[in-house]
């Protein structure tokens, strides 16, 4: 072959390739078939997603209780506690000498009568609620429990499970209230006995459990402040965060010092900024999270299912609840006011949602791999984003395959090919599951 002929062949090949490249480049109408090689792809999967606002907070006493002293009742004698000391309900706080014995005695007797009436009303409410029978099926209209106590009325939901939860929660609250009334009544009885014995001295006892956080030596009211043992989480929100946070949102938390997880609910969100708003400074909004008490909620939930439990199931649940109470109690004992907390406020949730990894989405579009063997550019509507997972609200369904190639390598309606892997391709073809390929091969040779 002459050199001239070789040169002509090389020029012809170069022209052929060049012309084809030019035609493909200038093919705006899609008349030239193209094949996309898709080496990596993924699928839309199902998952639960949560939209969260991350912030920080601090554990603080959920309640501050104040104790006062009225100088007109007598002369102050002495404190029985010091600032920083722990007190239980019924512990002595201070004592004073009464100015008028008969008047002091009359007031104590009047207070005793009032407490007895209040305790009787609480016990009556508990009796009526305990006797209330919850139907096993939904009611046509809301049932109601009503008794005379300043025209108090409790409404029971239609759903039997919810109704049992309401009933159990009511009884738990009333049991706590009854215990407080009984403790106050016992305290008044002790004061009456002390006054009768001494003739002029009354010791004021603490109606609360907690820590003495303030004690006024100058007898300025309140002379004693008792911070309760129950804790809540206090935090602050920026203006941007405040838009999304409202009451009753669930919260996940982590106590930094203890590496322990807590859950709770947003119970207060301030509608006014912490400090006076100014044009050139950002506003900060305080909020409060109430810690979830697992033992109370589990007790209410177990009560709702009590009619369906046999004796063995009930024993198992009782043991489980006892273990949970011990764990909860141990966790609460470790918590101290002032510990810092990482907070995730869950502002929105989506259960069993179609989800796609962020890497498969290109400017709100995805390259869908159809069953007909083509890739198409599919416009998406997205929802909640959690990490690198994004909810797909429209455009794709669970199980749809999506190419992970860069946009420059793909074209809508182009046929696609994928690499044939041994595990997914040749192996199944050469040796289908349940088939002895070698046995059939030898049989075929022998039969010849």
Q: For residue 316, what pLDDT is reported?
A: 60
Q: CA-to-CA distance for 164 and 158, rounded, in angstroms?
A: 10
Q: One digit per residue, pLDDT tens: the chain, 448 residues?
A: 567 777 777 787 777 777 666 655 565 555 545 677 788 889 999 999 999 999 999 999 888 899 999 999 899 999 999 998 999 988 999 999 999 999 999 999 999 999 999 999 999 888 888 887 777 665 554 444 444 444 455 666 667 777 788 888 888 989 989 998 999 999 999 999 999 999 999 999 998 888 999 999 898 999 999 998 889 999 999 999 999 999 999 999 999 888 889 999 999 999 999 888 888 888 999 999 999 865 444 444 454 444 444 555 655 655 555 555 544 554 566 888 889 999 999 999 999 999 999 989 988 899 999 888 888 899 999 999 998 999 999 999 999 999 887 766 777 778 877 776 555 555 555 555 555 555 554 444 444 4
Given a contact cutoff of 8 angstroms between Cβ atoms, the answer to whether 132 and 171 are in contact is no
Predicted local confidence at residue 278, as pLDDT: 82
DSSP 387-418: TTEEEEEES--TT-EEE-S-GGG--TTEEEE-
Closest CA to 285 of 42, 6, 33, 53: 53
Residue 259 structure tokens:
């590496």
pLDDT the model gives residue 153: 59
Going through 114-207 in order, the beta strands assigned E by DSSP cover 143-147, 152-156, 201-205
Show the domains of the chain with their CATH numbers: 65-134+155-227 (1.20.120)
From CA 66, how far away is CA 225, in angstroms rounded? 5
Half-sphere exposure of 402 (CA within 13 A, CB side): 29
Contacts of 271 (CB under 8 A, 6+ apart): 285
Distance set, CA 438 to CA 73, 86, 257, 424, 431 (Å): 106, 83, 64, 20, 9
Question: Which helix or strand (DSSP H or E) is residue 443 part of?
Answer: helix 437-447
Q: How far apart are CA 298 and CA 301, in angstroms?
A: 5
Q: Report yes or no: 62 and 228 within 8 Å, Cβ to Cβ.
A: yes
Look-up of token digits 């040779």? 445
Tokens of 294: 């697992």
∠ CA 291-295-296, rounded to 5°: 80
**Which one-letter DSSP state was computed for residue 207?**
S
pLDDT of the residue at 108: 94
Which tokens belong to 109? 């007797």
**Cα(235)–Cα(231) distance, integer angstroms:** 13
Predicted local distance difference test score (pLDDT) of residue 304:
44
Give 276: exposed, middle or buried? Use CB within 10 Å, 0-12, 13-18, 19+.
exposed
């Amino acid at each position: 072959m002459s050199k001239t002929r070789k040169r002509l062949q090389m020029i012809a090949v170069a022209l052929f390739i060049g012309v084809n490249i030019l035609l493909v480049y200038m093919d705006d109408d899609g008349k030239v078939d193209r094949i996309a090689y898709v080496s990596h792809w993924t699928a839309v999967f199902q998952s639960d997603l949560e939209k969260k606002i991350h912030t920080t907070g601090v554990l603080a006493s959920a309640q501050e209780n104040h104790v006062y002293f009225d100088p007109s009742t007598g002369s102050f004698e002495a404190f029985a506690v010091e600032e920083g000391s722990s007190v239980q309900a019924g512990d002595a706080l201070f004592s004073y000498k009464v100015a008028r014995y008969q008047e002091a005695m009359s007031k104590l007797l009047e207070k005793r009568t009032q407490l007895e009436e209040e305790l009787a009303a609480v016990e009556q409410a508990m009796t009526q609620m305990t006797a209330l029978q919850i139907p096993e099926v939904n009611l046509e209209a809301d049932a109601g429990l009503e008794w005379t106590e300043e025209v108090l009325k409790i409404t029971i939901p239609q759903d039997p499970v919810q109704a049992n939860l309401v009933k159990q929660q009511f009884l738990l609250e009333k049991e706590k209230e009854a215990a407080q009334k009984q403790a106050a009544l016992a305290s008044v009885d002790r004061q009456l006995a002390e006054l009768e014995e001494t003739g002029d001295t009354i010791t004021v006892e603490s109606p609360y459990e907690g820590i003495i956080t303030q004690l006024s030596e100058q007898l300025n009211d309140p002379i004693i402040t008792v911070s309760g043992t129950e804790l809540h989480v206090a935090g602050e929100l920026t203006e941007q965060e405040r838009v999304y946070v409202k009451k009753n949102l669930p919260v996940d938390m982590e106590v930094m010092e203890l590496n322990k997880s807590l859950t709770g609910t947003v119970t207060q969100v301030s509608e006014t900024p912490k400090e006076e708003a100014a044009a050139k400074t950002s506003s900060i909004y305080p909020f409060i999270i109430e810690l979830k008490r697992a033992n109370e909620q589990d007790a209410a939930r177990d009560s709702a299912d009590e009619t369906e439990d046999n004796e063995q199931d009930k024993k198992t649940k009782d043991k489980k609840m006892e273990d949970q109470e011990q764990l909860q109690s141990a966790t609460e004992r470790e918590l101290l006011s002032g510990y810092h907390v990482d907070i995730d406020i869950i502002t929105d949730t989506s259960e069993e949602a179609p989800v796609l990894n962020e890497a498969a989405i290109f400017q709100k579009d995805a390259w869908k791999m159809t069953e007909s063997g083509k890739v198409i550019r599919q416009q998406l509507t997205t929802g909640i984003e959690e990490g690198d997972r994004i909810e797909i609200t429209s455009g794709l369904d669970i199980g749809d395959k999506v190419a992970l190639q860069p946009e420059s390598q793909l074209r809508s309606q182009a046929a696609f090919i994928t690499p044939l892997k041994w595990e997914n391709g040749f192996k199944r073809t050469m040796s289908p599951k349940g088939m002895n390929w070698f046995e059939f091969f030898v049989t075929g040779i022998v039969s010849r």
